[in-house]
Structure 1
């Protein structure tokens, strides 16, 4: 078992994030794992441990307004947005890891919105390659199943915004969409979900230009039974990575062992799903190390 230590990450605006570092005795690469919307660090623990046992120093962390990086009470973080996660938190985590392991190849793994941060260039100057897991344009109209599409639309367009404005945060656990989150995250997410091209239609992000600048190899992973990240929704992101070599990996699932949007990182998925992703990351690391040799 690779030991875990708690670390503090300082963002460009002075905000402190809480992270966890798994450091093998002689690391051969460094990996930063950017989380999904309001998904706590503990969800990624087993996967991070597997990476560490393969010789990678692994940083996981909580975005501002979530997990151990949240204010108490959470309503004090009411103005936090997804843009803060993408433009402040993810780059800070990447910079921290690069500073801690400056001579090693560095990879990023992004889950859902964490993959958005990668697509928009978070830490790109430090990276050898990156993996996105279930990272998709969260456009409600692209959800394949009608009942789930209506449920998510009700949450993102009505219930979520109403509770966000009333409480200053969203009790997302009760709504079945993850952990509680800041009001600003829900309001921005809801706006993006109704736009034809998700955050690529948000002029404040300049997302089309930023995505086209990316030049590193990307493995974009989807899961067959993910109710949200259907292949068409993943393609809305990958098609914008016009300067990056993108490989698509669609993982098959079975009805008796559902995976969904979060289940890839569960220990129960290790034998069935992790292999191709770990092999790809190992190959990228070995290629980078050989190139530097």
Structure 2
């Protein structure tokens, strides 16, 4: 595994990682893993290493304000959620393009990492797009019973935490994770509207409408954060794309439960992860030997 430092066009420095196939193994594809809100890239390491064993070069990153891309003090750190799509993802994609100009690419966005895809650069090399649990945060689109507690979250927990700490101290509350003030504020505005991200205005709607690559939107039925209605609401603005909805039961991948996060857990493991290979445009035949660390 290779640690990388990215520099965005607006002057931010980000931490990223690259996982490569075993020495001597030919890479067949690049896969970007777009992290969920507040989730560090280290969460995806086990799955990324497994993918590397299937002839894949995998790139992950910590969005600005998250994980190793966060400053020591979040109180004065300025960032917007939309910057992840407009600045951070392009920096990662540019690097991968320079390194692997000959390889096809896949975007695998988990939750927010999938929601924001429509605002990212539309690289000609990206021919497979997968979103997992990427649903709207508007209260009527949330899974039950989560929707019933969101008033308390947005109108009590968030403002009190931001007022006290200068950022949303989610780790202390066991909710989402620590988020800069600007990111939690923009997320709150989106969640107040049934249009969610597209409430940002016409330019955002136009960006989603310009996406032409087919998209595979995956949701597990035991996901307590995202609902089928929320998944469809997020993908509705892709008016020029063929969106395929895969509403799966955990048993469909041989698991007792998956929820919103556990697809990437080792208890799902290779048996369950193998189901994602065709999503990403990959062969089900792994390479021999261990991946390069």
Q: Same fold (TM over 0.5)?
A: yes
1:82 maps to 81
Write 1 or 2 for the structure with the bigger share of helix.
1
Q: How far has the Cα of 1:76 moved from its partner?
A: 3.1
Q: Distance in 2 between matches of 1:207 and 1:162?
A: 30
Find the residue that maps to 1:280 and give its secondary structure.
Answer: coil
Gaps of 5+ in 2: 285-293
Which residue matches 1:154?
152
Matched, 1:185 2:170: no
Shift of 1:27: 1.2
Please report how far the alpha carbon of residue 130 of structure 1 lies from its aligned counterpart in structure 2 after TM superposition.
1.1
Q: Structure 1 length normalisation: TM-score?
A: 0.88
Alignment of 1:241 with 2:229, yes or no, is: no
Secondary structure in structure 2 of the residue aligned to 1:166: helix
Q: Where does residue 211 of structure 1 map in the other structure? A: 208
Q: Which aligned pairs between 1:133-152 and structure 2 lie closer than 5 A?
A: 133-146=132-145, 148-152=146-150
Matched, 1:229 2:226: yes
CA distance in 2, matches of 1:161, 1:190: 11
The answer for unaligned runs of 5 or more in structure 1 is: 286-293
Per the alignment, do residues 195 and 23 of structure 1 end up closer, same or farther by CA in structure 2, a change over 3 Å counting?
Answer: same
Maintained 8 Å contact 2:35/2:112:
yes
Q: Distance in 2 between matches of 1:9 and 1:38?
A: 19
Rounded Cα–Cα distance in structure 1 between residues aligned with 2:190 and 2:12:
25
| Cα deviation 1:153-185 (Å, max 9, x = unaligned) | 321333113322432211112333222111111
Mapped to 2, the partners of 1:280 and 1:159 lie a distance apart of: 38
Number of aligned residue pairs: give it. Answer: 279
Larger RCO: 1 or 2 (CA < 8 Å, sep 6+): 2
Confirm or deny: 8 A CA contact 1:29 1:55 kept in the other structure. yes
Taking a change above 3 Å as real, the CA distance of residues 238 and 21 of structure 1, as seen in their structure-2 partners, is: same
2:264 maps to 1:265:
yes
Matching residue of 2:127? 128
Distance 2:283 2:180 in 1: 36
